[in-house]
Structure 1
Amino acid sequence: MRAITVSADARLELTELPDPSPGHGEVVLDVAAAGLNRADVLQRAGHYPPPPGASDIIGLEVSGTVRELGEGVTGWQVGDRVCALLAGGGYAEQVAVPAGQLLPVPAGLDLVDAAALPEAVCTAWSNLVDVAGLSAGQTVLVHGGSGGVGSAAIQLSRALGARVLTTAGGPGRAARCEELGADVVIDYHGDVPAAVHEATGGTGADVILDVLGAGGLADNVAMLATGGRLVVIGTQRGTRGEVDLMALMRKRASVHGTTLRARPLGEKAAIVTAVRERVWPMLHDGRLRAVVHDRLPLAQAERAHELLDSGEVFGKLLLVT
């Protein structure tokens, strides 16, 4: 098969590699497309290695068709149209994946575009619902609403009945966030805490989904409501910061940090099952859609990473095999 590998000087190269074989409980997919994520850029730079036993090929989500079933796999057949959450291996023509991390491609959804869903939706759902306990009537602040996870989080929050605040850069991106269901869009170049204070009447956000990390920590704590939950899922502005514990204690608030990639297989399978039961119906009735910025051939992975780094992408970039 053809796959993208990282050279010694961190270039992305199209390479011929052996076809994967399914282990017990795994299936092999013929990949139609792979979704790009910020974690891919970090792995390429050597800052986010795959968990033990995972493929060292970049790529955390794909869509495609089932090519081969491993021992012990039930509920799937060769030829099924699926998308999948991966620990690695996505930038390739084939990939082996635990069967518990497969999702069926909903009827009417393009097979290629389905690659935009697994990582973004599973990340948004598990953190908004499982970790933060977001419910109808609450207010959520989604940092980076134009990103892959952010665009999914806006839609999911709206579908759950929450009031959605998000940050974005510029009027064009703000308008697109509003189309996805954001009630208030805040320019991240401005005074975000002041804007959140105004938008919430001074009460703050019940839930904040954060990709900034250390650089946004103090502002995020300041923007939390009493009993609020800050969930950090990215570190775009650093990994180490200080927090005013008294401010956190006065608000009876909490800070959570999570990743999805390194979780045990059972936890990932539980998240995928919940997404299939609770989120997939939203794709059928139109409350949720895949947000795809562009599709590029697998051989143009280098160009795709340049686009991702440019800050101009809205939603997801896809690599098509």
Structure 2
Amino acid sequence: MPPAPPDSPVGRADGPVGGARRTRTPRVPPVGRLPLPRNVHSPRDSIGTPRTPRSGALEALLVDLGSQIHRGTHYEAAGADEAADSPCFHATGLPALDARLGGGFPAGRLSEICGASFSDRSSGRTSLALCLLAEALSQGVLAAWVDLADAFDPNSATETILARGGEEEDLDHLLWVRARSEEEALRSCDRLLQTEGFKLIVFDLFQPENPQKTRIKDVTWLRLARLAVGTRTTLVVLSNEPMTGSRAELVLEMKARETRFIGPPSLLETIETQAVLRRRRNYPTGGKVALSIRAEAIRAESESPLPHPPPCKTRRG
């Protein structure tokens, strides 16, 4: 029998001429297991696959949900009491400012204090962070200060602690990390967030003007925010300008107003500044609080009406 001509339908994928066409029956999932939607993939499928915008959106959603996500009855039996006792906020100890923030800095979340300082004026962001630190240490918790700016002064921290009714020994509960580069600071912060036990981490990222300085990627802030949620650690970033974007639960901008000196010799007497709430999830923003910072104390006065505080949501078993 001679071979079939090239245009013969014999052997084609469609089958022989006049033959019955095969139909593919849909695969039925096992009993008790539902098929995944097209836009959802199992963890096994995601191993080794490149990151997609959809997976990034899913990670952002996990950060937003935060402590509302837990699994199984093991957590209900073992962690419910501990979660119920955990505070919703870390207060600064300044009633007017804490009321403006809705109670303080959200516990287990990423927040930011930003504000530019000038040669003749200071924004007061470090002084405010010291108040937050002193208030946390007075509760007996462990805290860390990642110091890329090399601006942390133990003597100033001790004075702030004593002025707020604490003791010098409170500073023993603080881990001071002096980072030599931005990469080292980020790596240190990452490891601290993975270490359970630290309730507050202050991350001072301010650096002198550096033309070669690169802006930290959004995915880095997303990772730090997720780690903070996972270990219920409050992470507060100090910066010269806003850096954390939408990954921060709260952003507080410090605006320098006036710095007064006495002397000679010229000694700092008072820093007048203004705190403006720029970002707060599910809470009105734009509220302003005037701060007067002296060596021994900080005074705060609200400059706008206070909204109703947000509900305090804790984990439930």
Fold in common (TM above 0.5): no
Say which structure, 1 or 2, has more relative contact order (CA 8 Å, 6+ apart): 2
What is the TM-score normalised by the length of structure 2?
Answer: 0.30
- Point out the structure with the larger strand share: 1
